[in-house]
């Protein structure tokens, strides 16, 4: 089972490690299932940029970025080379070790977990 470490730009939030994650889930689904704060507006269908995250480690273990996702990442606040949308990061490797940084959510108006 995969392991995901969530870190936050908002330093008032503590790092959270989620273990035993099944392949086939998106990182957004993992946040929903494990009480990790990540805004999202479109219901996980790649129609906005509110679930913007940074993949710090383990990118090879998730589905590749699509052209559509790239277009929405460009609209996110402070996009970087490691930027992805949590709803589109499907875990492919059941033995993955993924590290994610969640940007400061205070500037994003959207559904909160």
> Tell me: the pLDDT tens digits for 16-29?
999 999 999 999 99
- Helix then strand then coil, in percent of the chain rounded to 5, is 20, 30, 50
The answer as to CATH 3.40.50.300 being correct for domain 2-104 is: no
Strands 16-21 and 2-8: antiparallel
What pTM was estimated for this model as a whole?
0.92
Q: Which residues does residue 14 pair with via DSSP β-bridges, in sequence order?
A: none
Q: What is the pLDDT of residues 2-57, one digit of tens each?
A: 999 999 999 999 999 999 999 999 999 999 999 999 999 988 899 999 999 999 99
Q: What is the pLDDT of residues 75-105, one digit of tens each?
A: 999 999 999 999 999 999 999 999 999 999 8
Extents of the domains making up the chain = 2-104
């Amino acid at each position: 089972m995969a392991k995901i470490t969530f870190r936050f730009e908002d330093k008032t939030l503590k790092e959270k490690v989620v273990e035993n994650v099944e392949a086939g889930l998106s990182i957004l689904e993992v946040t929903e299932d494990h009480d990790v704060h990540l805004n999202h507006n479109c219901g996980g269908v790649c129609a906005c940029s509110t679930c913007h995250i940074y993949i710090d480690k383990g990118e090879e273990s998730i589905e590749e970025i699509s052209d559509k996702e790239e277009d929405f990442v460009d609209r996110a606040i402070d996009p970087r080379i490691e930027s992805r949308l949590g709803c589109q990061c499907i875990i492919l490797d059941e033995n993955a070790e993924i590290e994610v940084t969640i940007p400061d959510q205070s500037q994003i108006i959207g559904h909160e977990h």
